[in-house]
Structure 1
Amino acid sequence: MSSTRLAILSPAARGPMSLPASMGQLVAEVESHQEVWGCWLQSWDMPVTVGEIAPFLDELSRQALHQEREVIWAPMSSAGSAVRLVLHGAARPEALRRALTTLHLQSLMPGRVLHCQGDDLALVLHGSRGPLSAVNHRLIEALEGIALDVAVSPLWDRGHFRLLLTDMDSTLISIECIDELAEHLGLRRQVAAITERSMAGELDFQTSLRERVRLLAGTPASSIDTIIRERLRLSPGARELVAAAKSQGVEVGVVSGGFTQFTRHLQEALDLDYAFANTLEIIHGQITGQVLGDIVDAAAKADILDLLAIGLGTDAGHCIALGDGANDLPMIRKAGIGIAYHAKAVVRAQADFQIRYGGLDTAAAYLGWNTA
């Protein structure tokens, strides 16, 4: 059965807009009628086609134009599906207006408010559902210049996801551990030179890591404890994201091309279920400059995601991967949902969701874990 969904966005100072009596009689459902982010958001479902009420819609638009209100409508089909719009950041009416206008062009219309608290807003969207990655990239472009994170995501059932696997350096924590260790030892310039060669494609990750670790030979292992104590800081929202995941029954792990001393610390501090990283060889309290065993590189991260999923009786499609660098891309692409956190452009372009401004708790908002 075809219907028409109508929405009006009004400045809060104007208050909500009343429908003409002739239209009000056609309303099948009032889905939204509340103040959010400095706006009144109203949404109705009408069991008639757009053509049947076109004159009323035109007149309503003319009235709204003089009152600084915005009226949008679209035909709906019973085959349409609901998704979630999340806005996380600067609670500005302009952000909501731009988002809804952009989504209207994608045949997505606002419905009920799922969550509205402070700088977090989540709405149901109705309409035709194409590739959400394209919708999300258009939304980000439309909101350029506003310090706000935005995403359209499915309305997943509780239990859909079983695992959250996150990178460590510059993702779960705000530092790059090997760089901090190098600076502490007066080796930043030498380590940075190797990193630059790696980024230029002259060295693969494994060779780059082994060369950097070789520079640490002969230094006391206690230097690692000093970095953990004095410099290691969790990224904003890290604790909140882990707590939200666990409240949903989702297991959480960290996987890193860094070192086990740091991941073990995080596992204890955050009560993580899993921790994977490279093992520095330490003899008589000194770093030897060697890495023991296989290197945890980009391919290994994706393999670990697969293995953990199998262990949980599921597959990668029911896992979430979160990272910031190119070596996180294989696991981000493999996971059911890949999230780029303050990431390089190449990662943002291939991730399902982006977090550009907020903390890691933004991921919980995208996934609907903060919705009552």
Structure 2
Amino acid sequence: MSSTRLALLSPAERGPMTLPASMGQFVHSTESHQQIWGSWLQSWHLPVAVSEITPFLDELSHQALHQDREVFWSSMPSESHASRLVLRGPLHAEALRRALTTLHLQNCMPGRILHAQGDSLAIAMHGPQGPVPAFNRALTDALEGIHVDLAMTPVWDPGHFRLLLTDMDSTLISIECIDEMADHLGLKRQVAAITERSMAGELDFQTSLRERVRLLQGTPASSIDAIIRERLQLSPGARELIQAAKAQGLETGVVSGGFTQFTRHLQEMLDLDYAFANTLEIVDGKITGQVLGDIVDADAKADILELLAISAGTDPSHCIAIGDGANDLPMLRKAGVGIAYHAKAVVRAQADFQIRYGGLDTAADFLGWY
């Protein structure tokens, strides 16, 4: 049986809009009637087809046009697919308007408001089931220039996810550890240049890591403790994201092409279940410029995610991965949800969701962990 979904978006100062009296016979229930993000959002599910009420919708649209309001409607099956639109950032009425207009062009209509608190908003959306990345690319393009993170996501069942695995440098923490180590030798510019080429996908990671570590030869091992003590900082929202994941019953871990001294520190600081990284060779209290054992590179990160999923009694589709560089891409692609965090363009283009402006806790909103 077909039905109609109807929504009205009005400037907050205009207040909600009264439907024409002629439509009253069709309105059985109101899904949303709430002021959010500088706007009034009203939405209804009408148990009739658009063709049956076209004259009333035309009247409503004409009225809305003269009152600086927007009206959306669409015909769809009574049991349409439910998704979730999530916005996170400074309250911005234009961001909401652009997002809803973009999704309306793809036959997606707003329903009830799932969450509205502070700078976080989530709205149930109804419409055809489409590829998540396509919806999100369209939304990102539509909101270019507005510093709001947003995503169109499925509505996952409780307990769907079992593991959260995140990269370390410039993701879980705000620094690149090896760059800070190079600073002790006055080689920060040389090492940072190699790092940048690697993160942009221009240089093989294993080669770049060995080149960078070689430049650190002779650095006192005590410098690592100094960097941890004086320079290491969590990325905004990191602690909140890990706490939210744990509250949802997920195992948590960090995997890095960096070094074990830093990942172990983070494991203790955040009570992570897992920590994986490379081992620096240290002899007589000094870094030799060599890495011991196999290097944790892009493929290793993806393999680690898969092994941890199996250990948790599940598969990668029930895992979340977060990263910022090209060496995170295999892990992001293998996970059920891959999130790019303040990432390079090549990573943003291939991730399911992207966080461009906010902190890591934005991912908790995307995942429905309010």
3-state SS of the aligned residue for 1:220?
coil
Equivalent position of 1:171 in the other structure: 171
CA distance 1:142–1:166, shift in 2 (3 Å): same
In structure 2, runs of 5+ residues without a counterpart are none
User: Which whole-Å CA distance do the structure 2 matches of 1:193 and 1:45 have between them?
Assistant: 56
Cα offset, 1:289, TM superposition: 1.5
Question: Aligned AA for 2:60?
Answer: L
Deviations 1:299-351 (A, max 9, x none): 00000000000000000000001000000000000000000000000100000
3-state SS of the aligned residue for 1:10?
strand
Query: Is the Cα–Cα contact under 8 Å of residues 32 and 41 in structure 2 kept in the other structure?
Result: yes
Equivalent position of 1:93 in the other structure: 93
3-state SS of the aligned residue for 1:124?
strand
3-state SS of the aligned residue for 1:253?
strand
User: Which whole-Å CA distance do the structure 2 matches of 1:360 and 1:207 have between them?
Assistant: 30
3-state SS of the aligned residue for 1:350?
coil
Q: Report 1:341-360 matches (<5 A).
A: 341-360=341-360
Q: Report 1:1-372 matches (<5 A).
A: 1-195=1-195, 198=198, 203-370=203-370
CA distance 1:8–1:25, shift in 2 (3 Å): same
User: Which whole-Å CA distance do the structure 2 matches of 1:200 and 1:93 have between them?
Assistant: 35
User: Which whole-Å CA distance do the structure 1 matches of 2:78 and 2:201 have between them?
Assistant: 51
Cα offset, 1:196, TM superposition: 6.0
Cα offset, 1:42, TM superposition: 0.4
CA distance 1:329–1:96, shift in 2 (3 Å): same
Structure 1 runs of 4+ aligned residues shifted over 3 Å read 192-203
Deviations 1:53-78 (A, max 9, x none): 00000011111111111111000213
User: Which whole-Å CA distance do the structure 1 matches of 2:82 and 2:275 have between them?
Assistant: 36
* Percent of paired sites with the same residue: 78
Deviations 1:270-303 (A, max 9, x none): 1111000000111222112111110000000000
Question: Aligned AA for 2:279?
Answer: T
In structure 1, runs of 5+ residues without a counterpart are none
TM-score by length of 2: 0.97
3-state SS of the aligned residue for 2:262?
helix
Deviations 1:5-43 (A, max 9, x none): 000011111111111222122113210011111111100
User: Which whole-Å CA distance do the structure 1 matches of 2:199 and 2:164 have between them?
Assistant: 27
User: Which whole-Å CA distance do the structure 1 matches of 2:133 and 2:196 have between them?
Assistant: 31
Question: Aligned AA for 2:299?
Answer: A
Deviations 1:234-285 (A, max 9, x none): 1000011001100100111000000000000101111111000000111222
3-state SS of the aligned residue for 2:258?
strand
3-state SS of the aligned residue for 2:26?
coil
Deviations 1:152-179 (A, max 9, x none): 1011111100001000000000110000
3-state SS of the aligned residue for 2:91?
coil
Query: Is the Cα–Cα contact under 8 Å of residues 95 and 146 in structure 1 kept in the other structure?
Result: yes
Question: Aligned AA for 1:148?
Answer: V
Deviates more, 1:121-130 or 1:300-309: 121-130
User: Which whole-Å CA distance do the structure 2 matches of 1:79 and 1:164 have between them?
Assistant: 32
Deviates more, 1:183-192 or 1:297-306: 183-192
Cα offset, 1:219, TM superposition: 1.7
Cα offset, 1:146, TM superposition: 0.5
Deviates more, 1:28-37 or 1:311-320: 28-37
Q: How many residues align?
A: 370
TM-score by length of 1: 0.97
3-state SS of the aligned residue for 1:44?
strand
Query: Is the Cα–Cα contact under 8 Å of residues 90 and 146 in structure 1 kept in the other structure?
Result: no
Question: Aligned AA for 1:30?
Answer: T
RMSD over aligned CA atoms reads: 1.4
User: Which whole-Å CA distance do the structure 2 matches of 1:132 and 1:14 have between them?
Assistant: 34
User: Which whole-Å CA distance do the structure 1 matches of 2:30 and 2:146 have between them?
Assistant: 30
Query: Is the Cα–Cα contact under 8 Å of residues 200 and 344 in structure 2 kept in the other structure?
Result: no
Query: Is the Cα–Cα contact under 8 Å of residues 213 and 291 in structure 1 kept in the other structure?
Result: yes
3-state SS of the aligned residue for 2:149?
strand
